[in-house]
Structure 1
């Protein structure tokens, strides 16, 4: 059955979508309000494997989806620090909500950095700010195993515009999004790595379901497979080659946002372990339970994870508009290794938290359950597989210098 998208399906006028005065209510406060709604809905989102609609509706209402859009186009000009804090806070509340927002914000970052000067893309920025449109991501295709630097489908350019037919094995929250950003070969005779980035809005495409989404964790991201058929105008294709967009924005922002979401999930598991240890100690006249040592391990893993993200955030912010710095071997190696290390540390943190809680953490009911957090985090090393990343950057890692001092 085809899902025929319809841009009129939701009242998305600026007045209806954004009733709050965002210049008065701080972004952090609005994020906290959305996180509270996401937290209350997280268990049922996981159990029912459904899109976290209440949380995303709240995110629209509070202007989160357009926060990163520059002020000149109607947004707030939120920084990478603001976005990663948003992902961390939402991760503590609901993993699926956090990952959806992280993926959306990555697409918006590409639009903001690489869409300036394009009338079509600048108008889309205004729409995202005004209508709080949700952008989905389509980067996984066919049997490429998550290798987003090789595309099978190609953009077809005709006198009428551009078209694309793509077998997307995963389009996260694709059926719920207001638009989709995807990569494709520049032309039918281009090599797999000669790619462009293009964005389509909901009235440009149809989605035909091909694969379901029955998974261990991250169930609310609804990352089903679809055949994407899209038609648009030439202006919807980004002028810059995708390899530049990938290195300068897509990879850094994705890895920083994902890692922040994972850190938030891990922090929620540590918080439950802390509550369990405190309760157990009170019931034993202050004597620590056997799991206390595992709580310390969880806390230490979380500290390492936060420090790792912070260091890479600072590095990205320092070079955000320095093409040479972003393209350096040192930066590219570090930002790719961030994804690998952060995903492993997040899983280790939740595992230690579960061991700290013992059977209470293993159970799916009760105040100290950590099962959902662990299941959600087990997706992290597999989302663009860590083994693929390590293999791809092996040569670059060997060529980059080993720091000669603590200050390098």
Structure 2
């Protein structure tokens, strides 16, 4: 304990927080907005509007700006937050108790940051007895009895300012990374548009001229968790994005289920997502290093290339990202859901692609790869900056709550 920290007052949370409840009489003809709280310190979010008729007799309460709010089921993993002006007029169920600060005693943003530290999370875990799975309900009475070291209010506000300055740097670094990613995509789009065009040309050929068909797996009822290293897993929709294969996007196959080894994903496979969001349906990638025991799902297709029509998978990977092919894919996709679209094997095989020779294919791949190399250095630098800043925040938190700031 530092000399500064030793002078901090030890207080019960019940001395600086008071529980508030603003019960609401639900009216059937009124529309309401509920809040939720994400775990791991990610704060409050807004649920979709809901009618009073749908709420029925559910117990709900008004939330006010400046409320310190807990999700009592997941508080133990950091599901806490401070309501802002954006939550004015919103509601929460009885699982989201609200507290107000005793004036002059505690800065709620300081308290919020404290509960992001190992000591704060340990306290929340201590008052959240075990339950089913991740559900561990916080005991409100025990919570308010817990003792924490509390510096004077002015020091709390200074510490919050220090932490917020680091968060500002993190947000700025993330924004720069997003801008760089958007610029890279725009450059690729412009290049592919210039080299290929926006629409199919008269000499283009159906994709079936180079691909004989697709293999798909199945989608059995799986566990809700990813497969461990020694378990079989089935790919989720999110495993295939544009140029990216994420083997972590899988669900564990239940023990004892029969495995068709022909569906196992292998290095070099060319995969296409036949079901996804409108922006990602038809997304493709070439599998690089991949763990064993991952299976295709019925929504992930593996291309079978024709030996009689040599084609570079890397070329096709870029062609399917081009504006001309994306417009065809989006027109061919079906489905009534605005968030999920499907494209059949037959419609993928009917897509029109340029009739490039092997020399033209190699040239296109070389040019796009060169474009990527020019932007990769910037992306690596920004990623390193983000990593360094991510490591800085825990260090700042540790120093702050050790009385070293």
Please indicate the TM-score interval, normalised by the length of the shorter structure: under 0.3
The structure carrying a bigger strand percent of its residues is 2
TM-score by length of 1: 0.25
